[in-house]
Structure 1
């Protein structure tokens, strides 16, 4: 016997070539190249747009920065100083003839640091001060809400504000301090600029501080107000606190973090658990198994189940119970295996009785009751079927009644 083995042609390559793999990945390579080009172009286009992401940063040329105001002040001979941290800002603010411009929207400086910084400086300009800054430095002033964004604010006062004439709208302040004065009244019954005397110096609170930004300083009289507030002395310390200026007091101890109610509650819970364990853990001796003399007659059990089936209208389940018992008894009477199925028993019964197999199968399996009367009828049919099979397999001749 000759066995022929078919081999693949020599030019059939099962392993993909490098060229095939490269061709499949060409699409994703193109997508990666396009993404790199888009990112590179974005970086090139925005490279000179801003040197810092901080708002009102004097070193930032971004629209939200304030480099324009800082450069104009430098052109007028003002030394604009940008400290790197609180310590440098504190040292620079203590120099004579210094104006401090403080913008801390995130509230990084504590009340103690605010007091120390403003106490050493000359004139102080707070840009959009928050609630904590107002409480620490100007307790008689409170926020009054933002004015109408479509209506510029008129000065209605003299000095640098009067020279500005009109400024952009924004947050305003109301005050109850008799020594305070307000400029640029708004529809909120507040003022965009509030000035308070601080010894021989001045504390100014400017609500719409964004008028110092590069994109808004050219509107209305914003530039004039900015130069008048920040250019009053030869030195300007423009301080923007950061997260590094937050005072590090160390993490709280475990005792400080623990609430006062924790120890009593846990002690009471532990005592309760201990008492419950002692109560439930007492031994009453080993369990004693005792057979109770209870006998339930089979008739009562059958009657009870029948009533339950009747109450729940479980006709199909009741008939199934009757059929299961009947099929088992018919199989035993015909000498079938106990593993014989309903079909096998049905055929054997039809053969023994000489009846239609479909009729016998309907009694044992197929017919479904639609009412309680059908259940009784099926029960009678099963009983008659069992009696007929018992008579058919009984070799003894029937006895005649005398």
Structure 2
């Protein structure tokens, strides 16, 4: 398992030097400053590679760009509207330029409008740490009372509607603004910031696009770009919905194992693969992450390893970002399934046997509390997560190689 680290570029306050010190051996990044739908030029890709290969003192780093996260799919492509055909052509050109630079693994998502969504970006934990949280009642407050989306109440049960009304009645203007900012801040590290009016206009653009049509649009996108990726020896890997249920009445089509099976069958190619995110999928109590890795592992090209703690055993529901080894996902069982898949690939002679993963998200601890890093991407919280995951990997590898015997009493 290749240990990587997400980096947001020169403005990320976790430096390349610190990532090396954390023990990561590869970088996951993207050209966030380029508008969705536009071409990633060879010169811009080279600039990013140069930044990754250089420490703060100007000396060479040991790191290189291993995974692209994300090469964004524009809203026009998702809706098949406006400039979508040009955007698909640009996507293919970007793939060509990335392949020429030696990049092979391309993570993307097909979520409408919003990327990962949280109601609180700095939620206090009993031990003084902080983390991101999704509170379903707070989201209903925003949807029903702040955004005031037409027909919003149809998407919630009576108990949530009542709780949201009571919560909204107690909120002052500052609390309403903070909740709004948390929910419409846009993509992490991206160049767009959404206002309420912007969000409503985007929602209007999805009128008439139901789950079935949205799924077909996704497959049509892949039918266009997968042949290019396959010719270039690249691996596209779709990130799941986060959280894995509908928000704002929008279609969500990458939330379950069945969704991924349908995607693989629709465009049956090794270049059409999976980003298995244990946190996103883990927010649905019915998703069996170790089982998904066992059954779909042949097409898993990238891993996000994190955990969420569910407030209640229901979907949709509230959750917060837990420690990497504590939450809804049995991380030891998941890593065991990943190592088994890597062994199968080695025996089959696949060159992509070493599956890249990154410690996804993390709690703000110690110096993170004053660092003001990208929400969800603290330095020490992720270092802790990577160290814990590395320990699990080392122990399981020792058992599998016979260097360590586990006795059962």
Calculate the TM-score normalised by the size of structure 1: 0.23
Q: Which has the larger radius of gyration?
A: 1
The structure whose RCO (Cα within 8 Å, separation 6+) is larger is 2
Calculate the TM-score normalised by the size of structure 2: 0.23
